[in-house]
């Protein structure tokens, strides 16, 4: 667990291929519990993205339940999903509001060409390696709503490092 001055919940935010899972795993190694949308979707048998609305809602509902359970148990948590829109980030903040848990967004700041290169290299071997066709990759990048400090605490994380094993 982290010290009392640090946020209890980190929402790792960025488009597919930006390095969210690599960053979330670093935070996990530092003591946080990692909740991953992609890993949960993969475990439920979903192999392509985007998930339909019903499947996505099912996965998010599971993550919401686990997140609240962990926070109430005194655990520090990192949530690994795109949080592509302010509404998606606000939904997690609303779920956490009754707990009083502090929330901070970590925005992956990864150059567009690096994101596209990473996505082109995917082979579909796991939750964080889901194949994203080039046209969908561009749509994800173009539709991404960058968080701003008016939403609350925001940390910008350089996302250019190669994935760690």
- Which positions ≥6 away from 128 have C-beta within 8 Å? 21, 36, 38, 39
Beta bridge partners of 78: 10, 34
How many percent of the chain have pLDDT more than 70?
93
- For the CA atoms of 98, 146, 113, 79, the dihedral, rounded to the nearest 10 degrees, stands at 0
CA neighbor of 79 nearest in space, from 48, 126, 39, 119? 39
pLDDT value, residue 138: 95
CATH homologous superfamily of domain 9-158?
Answer: P-loop containing nucleotide triphosphate hydrolases (3.40.50.300)
- Give me the tens of pLDDT residue by residue for the chain, a chain 165 residues long: 444 434 599 999 999 999 999 999 999 999 999 999 999 999 999 998 889 999 999 999 999 999 999 999 999 999 999 999 999 999 999 999 999 999 999 999 999 999 999 999 999 898 888 888 999 999 999 999 999 999 999 999 998 755 544
Handedness of CA 91, 15, 8, 127 (dihedral sign): positive
- DSSP 8-state assignment for residue 6: S
- Which positions ≥6 away from 87 have C-beta within 8 Å? none
What's the chain's average pLDDT?
Answer: 91
CA neighbor of 83 nearest in space, from 3, 133, 23? 23
Measure the CA–CA gap between 137 and 159, rounded to whole angstroms.
Answer: 17
Residue 31's Cβ-side half-sphere holds a number of Cα atoms within 13 Å equal to 9
């Amino acid at each position: 667990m982290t010290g009392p001055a640090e946020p209890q919940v980190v929402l790792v935010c960025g488009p597919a291929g930006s390095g969210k899972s690599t960053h979330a795993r670093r935070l996990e190694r530092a003591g946080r519990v990692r909740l991953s949308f992609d890993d949960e979707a993969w475990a439920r048998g979903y192999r392509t993205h985007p998930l339909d609305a019903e499947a996505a809602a099912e996965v998010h509902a599971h993550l919401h339940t686990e997140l609240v359970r962990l926070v109430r148990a005194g655990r520090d948590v990192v949530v690994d999903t795109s949080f592509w829109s302010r509404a998606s980030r606000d939904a997690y903040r609303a779920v956490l509001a009754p707990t009083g848990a502090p929330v901070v967004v970590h925005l992956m700041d990864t150059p567009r060409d690096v994101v596209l290169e990473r996505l082109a290299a995917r082979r579909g071997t796991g939750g964080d390696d889901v194949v994203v066709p080039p046209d969908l990759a561009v749509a994800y990048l173009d539709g991404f709503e960058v968080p701003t400090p008016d939403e609350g605490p925001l940390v910008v994380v350089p996302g250019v490092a190669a994935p760690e094993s």
